[in-house]
Each structure stands twice: as C-alpha cells, then as structure tokens.
Homo-oligomer: A and B are copies of this chain.
Amino acid sequence: MNGADRLDEICKVAARMICQKGYDATSMSEIASAVGITKAGIYHHIEGKRELLFAIMSYGMDSLYNSVIVPARGIEDPEERLRAIITNHARLITSNSDPQGNNFVTIVVDETAGLMPAHRRKVNQRKRSYVDLIRHTLTQLKDQQKLRDVDVTAAAFSLLGMIVWLSRWYDPRGRLSPDQVADDITSIALGGLLRC
C-alpha cells in the first residue's frame, strides 16, 4: 500500500470510529490500532487529530469531485446533467456504504464544528461550489420552462438532502441494491423537480 492509499484507509477507518464513538472520544492510537499500524506510524501520515478530520473531509470532497462534479461539467444539456449528478452522487454513497449500513465519510463531512477555521473555510468553499453547480443547472432548467414553480435554492437543497440522507439509512446488506436505490432516488428527484 502506498502513502496515499494508506491515508485513504486511515480516513475511512477514522470516519467510522468518529461516527460510532464521537470525535472527542476517539484517540489517534485507537485509530492507528484499527488500521493496523503503530501510533508513530499514523503520525507519519497525518500531523494530528484536527488535521485528520480535515483529511477525512478532503477525501470525501475529492471523491465527490472525481465521481460527480467532473463528469457533470462535461454534459451540456441541463436535464441530462441533473440526471447524472443525482445518479452518480447516489451511487457514490450506496456503493461505498460500510456493511454496517452507513457511509461514514459522508456523515463526517457534515460535522465541520471540530475543524480549524482555515480548514472549515476550505471545506465550505468546496461544498458551495457543488451547490452552485446544482443551482446553475436548475436555473438553466427554469429558463427552459422545465423546472416546477419552486425556488431554485430550496430545490437544490431538497435534492441534496435526499441524496446525502442515503448515508444515514442505506444498508448494503438489505434487499435494495446500490443501483436500484440510485435509480429510485433519481426517479423521485427528477419527478419532484421537473414539470410533468
């Protein structure tokens, strides 16, 4: 395993522990031991616990960027772009779900209270840029008279809530496959946002 892969692994394990025990109750040595490295070893990859929290969020935002934002930017038609955003984001969550039924990285990304201010600003900026992509797409659909008569911001966050909430309830051991859930969410979201 190279350094970058090891850091990803640390981020995923730490995210699960933070969700289960809380940020303050989780120590660097426990994370190291869960990953199977020494306490000195973990500090080779990451400076401290607050930096680790930022690393987890950056890992989550990088995944979103690569799997959702980059492909969406390549799609000109707004309806097709919206469909791709929903399906790719839902699949990113369902296909990375831990067997215990949660995508812990997604959950940690919303717990910015523990971040240092400079890191919080960075994470919030990346989130805002994603919301702006969705809002821009919905505004284009509004101009084409394809959007329901709803506020674009309320529509963007309703969509995000529906997708992000997957990380709290979807259980990959259950009867719904990752693709089926992503398809259902896409169908509900498009039905809710677009005129019949």
How many residues in A have their beta carbons less than 8 Å from beta carbons of B? 43
How many chain copies does the complex carry?
A: 2
Given the known interface contacts A19-B113, A151-B184, A176-B153, the answer about A165 and B169 at a Cβ–Cβ threshold of 8 Å is no
The complex places the Cα of A45 from the Cα of B87 at a distance, in Å, of: 48
User: What 0/1 readout, one digit per residue, does chain A (18-30) give for beta carbons within 8 Å of chain B?
Assistant: 0111111100000
User: What 0/1 readout, one digit per residue, does chain A (21-48) give for beta carbons within 8 Å of chain B?
Assistant: 1111100000000000000000000000
What is the predominant secondary structure among interface residues of chain A facing chain B? helix
For A153, the chain B residues whose CB sits under 8 A away are: 176
For A8, the chain B residues whose CB sits under 8 A away are: none
CB pair A168 B110 closer than 8 Å? yes
Q: Interface on A for B, CB 8 Å cutoff?
A: 19-25, 110, 113-114, 148-151, 153-155, 157-166, 168-170, 176, 180-181, 184-185, 187-193, 196
